[in-house]
Chain A
Amino acid sequence: MAASGKQYSDYTTGDPLADTKAPGGPVEQRWSRRRFEAKLVNPANRRKHTVIVVGTGLAGGSAGATLAEAGYRVVQFCYQDSPRRAHSVAAQGGINAAKNYRNDGDSVHRLFYDTVKGGDFRSRESNVHRLAEISTQIIDQCVAQGVPFAREYGGLLDTRSFGGVQVSRTFYARGQTGQQLLLGAYQALSRQIAAGRVEMHPRTEMLDLVVIDGRARGIVARDLLTGRIDTYFADAVVLATGGYGNVFHLSTNAKNSNATAVWRAHRRGAWFGNPCFTQIHPTCIPRSGDHQSKLTLMSESLRNDGRIWVPKAPGDDRAPQDIPEEERDYYLERLYPSFGNLVPRDIASRAAKNVCDEGRGVGPGGQGVYLDFADALTRMGRAAVEEKYGNLFEMYARITAEDPYTRPMRIYPAIHYTMGGLWVDYDLMTTVPGLFAIGEANFSDHGANRLGASALMQGLADGYFVLPATLGDYLARHPHQEADPDHPAVHEAVSAVTGRLEALLSADGDRTAESFHRDLGQLMWDECGMSRTEEGLRKALERIPELRAEFWRRVRVPGRGRAFNQALEKAHRIADHLELAELMCLDALHRTESCGGHFRAESRTPDGEAARKDDEFAYVAAWEFTGVGEPPVLHKEALHFEYVHPTQRSYT
């Protein structure tokens, strides 16, 4: 763990990887087929099985509630003080579903098509089709739970449009859709907790995975209140622990969101899929100074009515209202006339970076573009704008002390979501039997770019509908057997955890963990952010091991291990970020094509757009861990497109 001075010199290529659970046949029948073929657990036998669920966001909350309803014994964990606070709560814009309530030509097939295309042909057709099929059930489920979606005067559900699509299929609850969906899942989970069917451990963080005889059998977790280290056993372990955007230090993720659960699982044998596929969200509030601790997203839904522009002339520092119409460049409308301000996120983000690189950015440091509501205010009136976006405008005003009703917002891209994650098969099981990953923690459905309002859809699809069906098949094939708490693998996992914590506490250095996080984040943003080059990535791959070695030598963590100690929690998470960052850069270096959110400056079309190399890179990169600083093994899962034929995406 500590201070290995080695660098990734390279990687080796292992056997190709196949998704053995993926059913064949027509794409629209695959999910029903898989469900029919899956073995079932007799209801009377379900209570004999214990399932550990780590995380209580949309994926984990919905999974825990549903598995408990089905009769399994669920033991669930979250680091927050309450399951209601998981970071899904912060999702603003909405959730997609192919309901076609607008009669505007939407269908399951169109949502499937849009998602495969939006993901730039780096996702599996089978998975995406399943997601699109389930989308409609999710809305039904959430309405039944009392999720207060926006409604029209007739009492029916309202929808809006999001980037990358031309239909109106996004259901929303003002700018708080994630919160409302999460409360729905949390309430369902609370019912199960109160009924004694879910044993809930808040303020408890998973620090390692227990693998016995090749199967995931439990976790090692730290009680954050007392610092006690405990081992929990189960018949299967489900990770619903979210993404790893916080590797970049500044992101829209919650401050405590972290990659420890997935990274520790990776080190225990779960291969990591497409770690370089990270999403940069185009509409965030620009940073205001070095003190910045996180970035705040402004929902993409704002792009429905706001117009994005910068001055035509570089260095134009006049106030926005003093810049006449003909001296403004509405660059998205100019470059992409048919999608305009609603192009997918990766395209909108890069376009913003490009105009800022040209010296046409606005605000402090020239790192911003305007998102202007003047036209919308004239067209719709202030009351209608307030009804639709009121809370977002209020949030913007609070943070920036500027009034977006009278002055255009300033926005800039920020790290928001990670499409990469633990590799899972069609059943959402990782390469460690009995270990499942759902929601943002897996790599599965979004390819190289996620469309807006699809994260909530995927989290709930996985948790309410997919996992409960596929987990049963695994449990049916593995009748319950008590795990041996004295197995050497258990002792090894526990001593690995205590050893790491002791190493952090005893380093007695002179730098805070936070200061290393800032350095790592800056490096990753510069070299593995919106635009990546071979030179930059090699530089990062050289620098990260140095930073890691310095971290273990110089970090200072006050306090004790057997106590509530937030400095220790943070240092431990950053130690894992320092390892994962290296794999992200290596993956980005090996993928010499541009696709979706992964933009290699060397691979672009004559007009500057991302150029995919389908003959070389139409695969999922699944990385096998071999040791810190050791060359990992790359396994390729080939992607086949039978229904949506890869084309260069065009949004012009």
Chain B
Amino acid sequence: MNLTLRIWRQADASADGEMRTYQVSGISPDMSFLEMLDTLNETLTERGEEPVAFDHDCREGICGACGMVINGRAHGPERTTTCQLHMRHFSDGDTIDVEPWRAAAFPVVRDLVVDRGAFDRVIGAGGYITAPTGSAPEAHATAVPKPAADTAFSHAECIGCGACVAACPNGSAMLFTSAKVNHLNVLPQGAPERESRVLGMVEQMDAESFGGCTLTGECATACPKGIPLSSIAAMNREYLRAATRKRGA
């Protein structure tokens, strides 16, 4: 396949960026999107030009490092991570636009690389269960009903890639935050910190530069792990419950 790529190039956080056009040829349909970019980067390096910077690591769709907006969609046309998107979903002669995540809370670091540190701070504000090492009771001391365990798991699948924020017209992080709140709040082990968790995480989320949620649902459509939109509703319930209790207390 021969393709025309229009890629966002930006030297650093303070520099102005621009879309630049590159041609790549000899692309195999079995290549992943990142392997296609590897090909471009090897060519650029051989020519002494600086390769296109992009985050990537496991290339198995689980570490959440990669992510770019491809033809206007977070992670591109398939509902998966960029590393698991294969070139067979494109056609010979296509022109493909490649941009970084666009969100106020994710400043561009260079080219297609953004700073997602805000996510780590949201987790640090309550996205855990306080269980100091060595203090744990026997694992079977508390049975967890399978439906609760399954709900927890399906929310825990979030890989923190940031596609939800990138896809949202408001740049909101509600889906990301709700996934962690729901993972931990449905478990009996998470119950003691149920209120402080949701209040703390939402407060931190608001303190970062994320936008508000208007339930457009773009986040759940872009999520490579299928975190459902209902996750946001569940978090809103948790938040309301916690806020009411706090006021009552």
* A and B form one complex: yes
Chain A interface (Cβ < 8 Å from any Cβ of B): 62, 65-66, 69, 80-85, 87, 89-90, 99, 101, 137, 139-141, 143-146, 148-157, 173-174, 176, 178-180, 183, 186-188, 190-191, 193-194, 202, 225, 254-257, 288-289, 291-294, 296-297, 395, 398-399, 401, 464-465, 468, 510-512, 514-515, 556-559, 563-567
Known contacts A137-B136, A144-B129, A176-B62; is-contact A398 B80 (Cβ 8 Å): yes
How many whole Å from A59's CB to the nearest CB in chain B? 13
B5 located at the interface, meaning its Cβ lies under 8 Å from any Cβ of chain A in the complex: no
Known contacts A85-B63, A145-B189, A510-B46; is-contact A62 B133 (Cβ 8 Å): yes
B131 located at the interface, meaning its Cβ lies under 8 Å from any Cβ of chain A in the complex: yes
How many whole Å from A156's CB to the nearest CB in chain B? 6
Interchain CB contact under 8 A, B128 and A81 = no
Interchain CB contact under 8 A, B136 and A84 = no
Interchain CB contact under 8 A, B190 and A146 = yes
Interchain CB contact under 8 A, B157 and A87 = no
Bound Cα distance from A557 to B48, whole angstroms: 8
Interchain CB contact under 8 A, B145 and A155 = yes
Interface residues in B, total, Cβ within 8 A: 79
Interchain CB contact under 8 A, A191 and B128 = yes
Which of A289, A297, A558 is in CB contact (< 8 Å) with B30? Answer: A289
Interchain CB contact under 8 A, B124 and A190 = yes
- The list of the 3 closest CB pairs from A to B, nearest first, reads A155-B143, A194-B124, A187-B128
Which of A90, A187, A398, A564 is in CB contact (< 8 Å) with B109? Answer: A564
Interchain CB contact under 8 A, B139 and A139 = yes
Q: Contacts of B6 on A, CB cut-off 8 Å?
A: none
Interchain CB contact under 8 A, A294 and B146 = no
How many whole Å from B10's CB to the nearest CB in chain A? 11
Q: Contacts of B116 on A, CB cut-off 8 Å?
A: 81-82
Bound Cα distance from A377 to B144, whole angstroms: 29
How many whole Å from B85's CB to the nearest CB in chain A? 9
B117 located at the interface, meaning its Cβ lies under 8 Å from any Cβ of chain A in the complex: yes
B125 located at the interface, meaning its Cβ lies under 8 Å from any Cβ of chain A in the complex: yes
B123 located at the interface, meaning its Cβ lies under 8 Å from any Cβ of chain A in the complex: yes
Bound Cα distance from A56 to B119, whole angstroms: 16
- The 17 sampled A-B contact pairs (Cβ below 8 Å) are A81-B117, A85-B64, A90-B63, A143-B139, A144-B131, A145-B189, A153-B146, A155-B146, A188-B131, A193-B120, A254-B58, A395-B84, A398-B86, A399-B86, A401-B30, A564-B53, A566-B51
Interchain CB contact under 8 A, B84 and A399 = yes
How many whole Å from B154's CB to the nearest CB in chain A? 9
Interchain CB contact under 8 A, B135 and A179 = no
Q: Contacts of A401 on B, CB cut-off 8 Å?
A: 30, 86, 88
Interchain CB contact under 8 A, A179 and B138 = no
B152 located at the interface, meaning its Cβ lies under 8 Å from any Cβ of chain A in the complex: yes
Interchain CB contact under 8 A, A82 and B120 = yes
Interchain CB contact under 8 A, B65 and A291 = no
- Closest B-chain residue to A69, C-beta based? B132
Write out, one digit per residue, whether chain B residues 195-214 have a CB within 8 A of any chain A CB (1) or not (0): 00000000000000000000
Bound Cα distance from A291 to B32, whole angstroms: 9
Bound Cα distance from A289 to B137, whole angstroms: 50
Q: Total A-B residue pairs with C-beta atoms closer than 8 Å?
A: 221
Write out, one digit per residue, whether chain B residues 49-66 have a CB within 8 A of any chain A CB (1) or not (0): 111010111111111110
Q: Contacts of A154 on B, CB cut-off 8 Å?
A: 143
Which of B35, B55, B125, B131 is in CB contact (< 8 Å) with A145? Answer: B131
CB within 8 Å of A: which of B82-130?
A: 84, 86, 88, 109-110, 113, 115-117, 119-121, 123-125, 127-130
B31 located at the interface, meaning its Cβ lies under 8 Å from any Cβ of chain A in the complex: yes
- Closest A-chain residue to B47, C-beta based? A558
Q: Contacts of B18 on A, CB cut-off 8 Å?
A: none
Known contacts A187-B127, A514-B42; is-contact A559 B60 (Cβ 8 Å): no
Q: Which of B32, B78, B117, B156 has the most CB of A within 10 A?
A: B156
B243 located at the interface, meaning its Cβ lies under 8 Å from any Cβ of chain A in the complex: no
Q: Contacts of A176 on B, CB cut-off 8 Å?
A: 62, 157
Bound Cα distance from A405 to B66, whole angstroms: 29
Interchain CB contact under 8 A, A194 and B157 = no
Interchain CB contact under 8 A, B117 and A398 = no
Interchain CB contact under 8 A, B63 and A89 = yes
Q: Contacts of A153 on B, CB cut-off 8 Å?
A: 146
How many whole Å from A257's CB to the nearest CB in chain B? 8
Q: Contacts of A256 on B, CB cut-off 8 Å?
A: 56-57
Known contacts A90-B62, A153-B146, A567-B51; is-contact A180 B156 (Cβ 8 Å): yes
How many whole Å from A561's CB to the nearest CB in chain B? 13
Interchain CB contact under 8 A, B49 and A254 = no
Additional A-B contacts beyond A90-B63, A193-B124, A510-B46 (19; CB < 8 A)? A66-B132, A85-B65, A90-B60, A140-B138, A146-B152, A146-B190, A148-B152, A148-B153, A156-B140, A187-B129, A188-B131, A194-B121, A288-B28, A293-B32, A293-B35, A293-B59, A296-B59, A515-B42, A567-B45
B9 located at the interface, meaning its Cβ lies under 8 Å from any Cβ of chain A in the complex: no
Q: Contacts of B30 on A, CB cut-off 8 Å?
A: 288-289, 291, 401
Interchain CB contact under 8 A, B136 and A146 = no
Bound Cα distance from A188 to B132, whole angstroms: 8
Interchain CB contact under 8 A, B133 and A141 = yes
- Closest B-chain residue to A187, C-beta based? B128
Interchain CB contact under 8 A, B144 and A294 = no
Bound Cα distance from A138 to B28, whole angstroms: 45
How many whole Å from A401's CB to the nearest CB in chain B? 6
How many whole Å from B202's CB to the nearest CB in chain A? 15
Bound Cα distance from A566 to B51, whole angstroms: 8
Q: Contacts of B222 on A, CB cut-off 8 Å?
A: none
Interchain CB contact under 8 A, B133 and A468 = yes
Q: Contacts of A289 on B, CB cut-off 8 Å?
A: 28, 30-31
Q: Contacts of A563 on B, CB cut-off 8 Å?
A: 11-12
Interchain CB contact under 8 A, A225 and B46 = no
Q: Contacts of B110 on A, CB cut-off 8 Å?
A: 564
Interchain CB contact under 8 A, A145 and B84 = no
Interchain CB contact under 8 A, A566 and B53 = yes
Interchain CB contact under 8 A, A146 and B189 = yes
Q: Contacts of A559 on B, CB cut-off 8 Å?
A: 50
Q: Contacts of A225 on B, CB cut-off 8 Å?
A: 109
How many whole Å from A364's CB to the nearest CB in chain B? 10
Which of A87, A288, A398, A558 is in CB contact (< 8 Å) with B51? Answer: A558
Interchain CB contact under 8 A, A190 and B139 = no
Which of A65, A87, A186 is in CB contact (< 8 Å) with B57? Answer: A87
Known contacts A62-B133, A89-B58, A225-B109; is-contact A292 B35 (Cβ 8 Å): yes
How many whole Å from B30's CB to the nearest CB in chain A? 4
Interchain CB contact under 8 A, B48 and A151 = no
B39 located at the interface, meaning its Cβ lies under 8 Å from any Cβ of chain A in the complex: yes
B184 located at the interface, meaning its Cβ lies under 8 Å from any Cβ of chain A in the complex: yes
Bound Cα distance from A178 to B130, whole angstroms: 20
- Closest A-chain residue to B160, C-beta based? A84
- Closest B-chain residue to A468, C-beta based? B133
B34 located at the interface, meaning its Cβ lies under 8 Å from any Cβ of chain A in the complex: yes
Interchain CB contact under 8 A, A464 and B48 = no
Q: Which of B28, B45, B130, B152 has the most CB of A within 10 A?
A: B45
How many whole Å from B171's CB to the nearest CB in chain A? 18
How many whole Å from A415's CB to the nearest CB in chain B? 15
B73 located at the interface, meaning its Cβ lies under 8 Å from any Cβ of chain A in the complex: no
